[in-house]
Amino acid sequence: MPLKARIAGALLACAVLSACQGVGSSNSGNTPVSGGGPAPTGVQQCQTLTSHAAAVATVATPPAPPTSGTIQTSLVLVPEGQDSLGIYLRNPWTGTLVDRGYVPTGKSPSAVAVSQDRYVYVANKIDGTISQYSWDPLTAQLASLGPNATSVAGVSSLAVVGNFLYALNTNDNTLNTFQIGSNGTLEFVGSINTPAVTSLVADTDDMLYGLGTNEIVSFSAGTSAPRTLGTTAVSGLISGAGNGSGLLYVLTDTTVTAYNVSGGTLSVQDSVPLPSGLTPSALAVGRTQLNVAGAGSSGSEIATFPLVSGGIACPTSAVWGPSGQTSSATLSPGGRYVYVANETRGDLLAYTATTSGSGPQLTAYVRTRPDPQAVTSLVADVVIAPQMLYVIDQSENAIAGYQVAPNGALSPQTQTIQHTCNSCATVANTGASAFAMAPNGRHLYATDWAEAGQGDVTTFGVGADGNLGTPNSIAAGMSPMGVAVDPSNRYLYVANSYYINGDGSTTADNGLGTDGANDGSNGQGSIYGYGLGTSGNPAPLMQEITDTQPYPMLLTIDPTGRFLYVSQYAVNSIGMFSIEPGTGALTDIGSIPSGSNPWTVVVGPAGRHVYVSDNGSNVSLYQINASTGILSPASTPTLIVPGNPLGLVMGPKGRRLYVATQNGTVDVFIRNNPLATPSSWEPTPIALTGTFANAYGLAISNNGRALYVVDNCSGDSSTNGRVEALAIPIFSAGLSATNYTSLGSVATGTCTVEGLSGGGLG
């Protein structure tokens, strides 16, 4: 799994920000005020800044993961335009943002607030409700606390002060108060009329502020009956935030201002002009810095201001991100990262929070559902499961698990093994074919192949030690192959290939009406859908049997949980489906040609591209339309592979694509400028060698340290399969194959065809 890497070159041409002019400054403007110096006062005069592209951060080595207990990371929450709240975890070892799905909200979620780092509330503007959830670290998911609390139509902003949640309704200019119960549920207390304000800001335990177009309204808070204390005139007000120190920071279209608060009366502490050319939209405040996000002359932009001795210093950097307009920004609970929602692109981006050097560096990005409206983060104490590698031992009809050492090496002996057909619903099974892990890591699902017959999908519970529980099988369709789980643990899908091994006869094979040719002729394939409920055990969705082209192979779901893609081996195409979030139903949205005999299909970590291994010797690349899910050829449509590719895996940064071939090689393709439009790939891969001879599957450890090559049995033997572990070098170490050193191999004693990483977060 590639680590943090620097974007090669600037994303956009640089521009110079003109000088910020002001009066009454205690800072000369030539050097930003440093920590520990005197607090600046009044309106400052700032030096000229040069905006530059935000580099992707590089890290020498990710820390070794703990083997038990819990770990703290950021949980990032984004209300999105499809009546949902997106859930994203920051992987502390790779720095990536992992999409953990979504929870349904009311109509048009517009704001989010958090209480006690445990309870989450979402304002739904159109239906006038407040959705309420608890964060469950055991499942690493949000759980509904019950029916939405009722406010009134127009609820647009939320704030928590003490044990009370305040909801602003802009339709009738009221402030509603809810008491937060011991279990997080809301109880309506009362309502007061307010001046015309558009958003709320909470800071200390007893103050609340309403921000209007040209004024700030101060309220006493932390009680069931807030009261208005006064108003302060502000021109061009956009956003505000506090950092718990008793100061209120306010963003206007030209300045950032810090206000002292005394009894509800606001007085200016500092006012710093924004760099020219920056049209601000969001403010994020931490203990040592504040960040202003908005649009610059060459795309989105972030300006960083140090906080020193209770004041604001001049900005130390201004960096460009991807194009588009930011809608919201927040700092991580520890203040080390800035999370930014890009409304235009539908992206969530993470930057380092720093005031030194060249300023923020881009550490991760992922596509959200359309129209992200806000962003907030809280501390997530996540239960750590042992790092595992599971492999399919096809000739034994079993799933075996090996424990992963901190450096990525595998234990020499299996820790867990389960046969998939201990409780098969049907008897015509000839071996497991594919599997998938639930996003929360609590269940593993495997398809049981049946040649010209009905197969199964088998569920294994995953114990705290990584061991697999007793299998539980239910019927799938004819010759099931690929299996995938949506990011929210709601739905599971199985591709039924309807494969028939031709016998050379001129009559119909096995009475199934195929052409009888000795070519593996096939009937009509299908995709079955299952609901997982709270138990994680699949139950067939009503009427969710979707026909596909003959011989669908493997399938995948994009990180937003909105689209499903399946390789259609016999007709050289990729099938595309949309997923209805409320029911899991699939809608056929067409297909697109692929190369010869498509096999593995994966979505890149940012959710923008699909990659397909075509067994006829290339990889096809597609870009995803964010609105429709329809694929189109990427700017680099094809990568030529000198072999017969099968296994395919993408690193979390989208910089390296690994391809396994039946010729016994693993090829590594390198991507340049992953955030650029368009981005490009180096056409000549790095060829890795090892003890593998018939490489079928690939996997990357969840801690990002190792690549696993699953080698199928070869020759006449069904006992010489193996798995080899290769250490993944940091990207900056160079692109030579010699940097991928062997961590050893494990002889499986069977035909191994696929690998799957488990353990880690969830």
Is the pLDDT at 396 greater than 90? The verdict is no
Question: What is d(CA 221, CA 190) in angstroms, rounded to the nearest whole number?
Answer: 13
Q: Is residue 659 part of a domain?
A: yes
Phi, psi dihedral angles at 334 (to 5 degrees): -85, -5
Q: Is residue 270 part of a domain?
A: no
Is the pLDDT at 412 greater than 90? The verdict is no
> Which of 233, 252, 270 is the C-terminal boundary of a domain?
233
Mean pLDDT of the chain: 83
Question: What is d(CA 184, CA 182) in angstroms, rounded to the nearest whole number?
Answer: 6
Same domain, 454 and 589: yes
Same domain, 91 and 126: no
Is the pLDDT at 431 greater than 60? The verdict is yes
Antiparallel, parallel or unpaired: β 265-273 and 42-43: parallel
- The pLDDT of residue 398 is 87
> Which of 322, 357, 374 is the C-terminal boundary of a domain?
374
Same domain, 518 and 574: yes
Query: Tokens 């304002």 correspond to what residue?
Result: 123
CATH number, domain at 648? 2.130.10.10
Same domain, 326 and 471: no
Same domain, 722 and 620: yes
Confirm if 402 and 410 have CB atoms less than 8 A apart: yes
Render pLDDT for 181-233 as a digit per residue (tens, 0 to 9). Answer: 999 999 999 999 888 888 999 976 788 999 998 899 999 998 888 999 989 99
Give the angle 115-287-271 at the CA atoms, nearest 5°: 110
Render pLDDT for 503-531 as a digit per residue (tens, 0 to 9). Answer: 433 333 333 344 434 344 556 889 999 99
Same domain, 228 and 325: no
Q: Is residue 273 part of a domain?
A: no
Give me 686's structure tokens.
Answer: 């790095």
Helix, strand, or coil (residue 33) = coil
Give me the percent of the chain exceeding a pLDDT of 70: 86
**Which amino acid, 462?**
V
Same domain, 136 and 82: no
Section 21-36 average pLDDT: 32
Same domain, 345 and 417: no
- The pLDDT of residue 702 is 84
Q: Is residue 244 part of a domain?
A: no
- Domain coverage including residue 495: 383-761
Question: What is d(CA 165, CA 184) in angstroms, rounded to the nearest whole number?
Answer: 10
Task: Tell me the residue ranges of DSSP E strands in 105-236.
Answer: 109-115, 119-124, 129-136, 141-144, 149-150, 155-161, 164-169, 174-180, 186-193, 199-202, 207-211, 215-220, 227-233
Render pLDDT for 340-391 as a digit per residue (tens, 0 to 9). Answer: 999 988 999 999 888 877 788 888 889 999 999 999 999 988 777 788 999 9
Question: What is d(CA 728, CA 304) in angstroms, rounded to the nearest whole number?
Answer: 34
Higher model confidence: residue 734 or residue 404?
404
Same domain, 490 and 635: yes
Q: Is residue 271 part of a domain?
A: no
- The pLDDT of residue 260 is 87
Categorize the per-residue pLDDT at 498 as very low, low, confident or very high, splitting at 50, 70 and 90.
Answer: confident
Render pLDDT for 294-317 as a digit per residue (tens, 0 to 9). Answer: 988 778 889 999 988 768 999 988
Render pLDDT for 596-647 as a digit per residue (tens, 0 to 9). Answer: 999 999 999 888 999 999 988 899 999 999 999 999 999 889 999 988 899 9
Q: Is residue 638 part of a domain?
A: yes
Confirm if 125 and 154 have CB atoms less than 8 A apart: yes
Same domain, 147 and 89: no
Is the pLDDT at 24 greater than 50? The verdict is no
Same domain, 449 and 360: no
> Which of 326, 345, 374 is the C-terminal boundary of a domain?
374
Nearest C-alpha neighbor of 668 from the set 653, 678, 681: 681
C-beta atoms surrounding 544 within 10 Å: 18
Section 78-102 average pLDDT: 89
Q: Work out how many domains the chain is built from and give that number.
A: 3
Q: Is residue 252 part of a domain?
A: no
- The pLDDT of residue 93 is 80
Give the angle 108-112-117 at the CA atoms, nearest 5°: 150
Same domain, 153 and 50: no
Q: Is residue 82 part of a domain?
A: yes
